Structure 1
Amino acid sequence: MEKTKILLAEDHLVVRNGIKLLLDTQANFEVVADVGSGREILDVLDSGVSADILITDLTMDNVDGLELMRTLNQRGVGIRVIVLSMLDDEQHVAQSFQYGVRAYLIKNVTADEMLFCVNHVAKGGRYLCEELTMKLVDKLINKEASQFRKIDPAELSLSSREMEVLELLGEGLTNLEISQKLFLSKRTVEGHRQNLIDKTKSKNTPALIKFAIKNGLLN
């Protein structure tokens, strides 16, 4: 069985030894070099060592992970990069994938997930660890919920009469039809309609209806 050759760059020796030990337990993996900086990875590659996958931290002395990826891209080195980092912010994740990494893991990842990730990348896949994936999902859920949060009419200082007029406008009734239905003068209805436009900062009646539907004031 042909083994997947792996380079490992991690400046914390204990962490590096632990990862190497884990990878060495797999019959299909071979760690061809493990070093403490990006500079050493470049030296290893310059010496003629070839590998299929590079697992690298982002924060290292001399040449850090991002600089290493930039250099590998400039040289056209065809190696699949997996980031293993403590950095879990969106900026570093996005920047890493922009630089062409195949996977991003944070350092509290389980051994099983790390092995799955390496195997998946070896087969040509891409991967984002479960914790970061769920963090992004939670953010999307919260964003979705905030976008569709129903506005309390009290927040816009809408009176019950204005809400009645708004509902009838939403049904497509004209000012005259609304005045007849609510036993109000047409001028009074026009005043309520203009108040609704002003309070919701809408340009016109269609924009008012769109705002009301979007913010849960109309079904």
Structure 2
Amino acid sequence: MIRIFLVDDHAIVRDGLRAVLSAQPLLKIVGEAANGQELLVQLPNVPTDVVLMDLNMPVLDGLATTHELHEHHPNLRILILSMMTHERTVGELFAAGAHGYVLKNADKAEITTAIQAVAAGKRFLCSDIGLTLLEKILATEEEGAVNSAKDPFRLSSREREILKLVASGLTNQEIADKLFTSKRTVETHRQNLLEKTEAKNTPALIRYAMEQGWL
């Protein structure tokens, strides 16, 4: 039996969740709260396995409550139920200690699966958000491949940094001192820059960099 504590500031949402989850033989609703503060007050007296919690709530929201639960109730499993889909929000909640994230418009089968997964010690991310993140990753990789094809002389961040310092007129030793590295390392990077861009000398290198918009 998985003991679930519902936390949502909308009573109608809690009523709906209770109706859906109570119909599952292995799930039991043991408590309800309208915000994180109410949860924290009740929790010491209510044995709970999974907190099923909304994100946007008054008094103490889901993120702040997750931090509190992670610190003071480390064995409790936290499943966020929200309509927020931004990856930064999801990432912040997982970083704060949440174990799962599911959208409110998910069907009852996915919500039940999410509860069972986090109760079993696993992490869970609903399929809609997972697919959206995958699409963004693939789009980013495709864009990176296109940019690489357009720019065969892609420079590392350190090479670009050194190129800017070269363009500002600093000597190899001055660049080394500024970057807390050796003069020999700077010389190696400058040589790599010349080879990558096929520039014959420093003025040609700087001119090429300006044409590419690197400076």
TM above 0.5, yes or no, is yes
SS of 2:121's equivalent in the other structure is: coil
Q: Does 1:123 align with 2:120?
A: yes
Structure 1 stretches of 4+ with a deviation exceeding 2 A read 150-153, 205-208
Deviations 1:51-70 (A, max 9, x none): 00000011101111111111
SS of 2:5's equivalent in the other structure is: strand
Q: Does 1:16 align with 2:44?
A: no
For 2:47 and 2:74, how far apart are their aligned partners in 1?
Answer: 10
SS of 1:125's equivalent in the other structure is: coil
For 1:31 and 1:144, how far apart are their aligned partners in 2?
Answer: 44
SS of 2:48's equivalent in the other structure is: coil
2:75 pairs, out of 53, 73, 78, with 78
Q: Contact 2:67–2:97 at 8 Å: present in 1 too?
A: no
1:96 pairs, out of 93, 98, 103, with 93
For 1:144 and 1:107, how far apart are their aligned partners in 2?
Answer: 30
Q: Which residue of 2 aligns with 1:114?
A: 111
For 2:56 and 2:151, how far apart are their aligned partners in 1?
Answer: 47
Q: Give the share of equivalent positions with the same residue, in percent.
A: 29
- Amino acid in the other structure paired with 2:36: G
Q: Flag the structure with larger Rg.
A: 1
**TM-score, L = length of structure 2:** 0.69
Shift of residue 207, structure 1, vs aligned partner: 4.9
CA RMSD in angstroms, aligned pairs only: 2.0
Unaligned runs of 5+ in 1: 154-201, 209-219
**TM-score, L = length of structure 1:** 0.67
Q: Does 1:138 align with 2:135?
A: yes
Shift of residue 76, structure 1, vs aligned partner: 3.5
Q: Which residue of 2 aligns with 1:185?
A: none
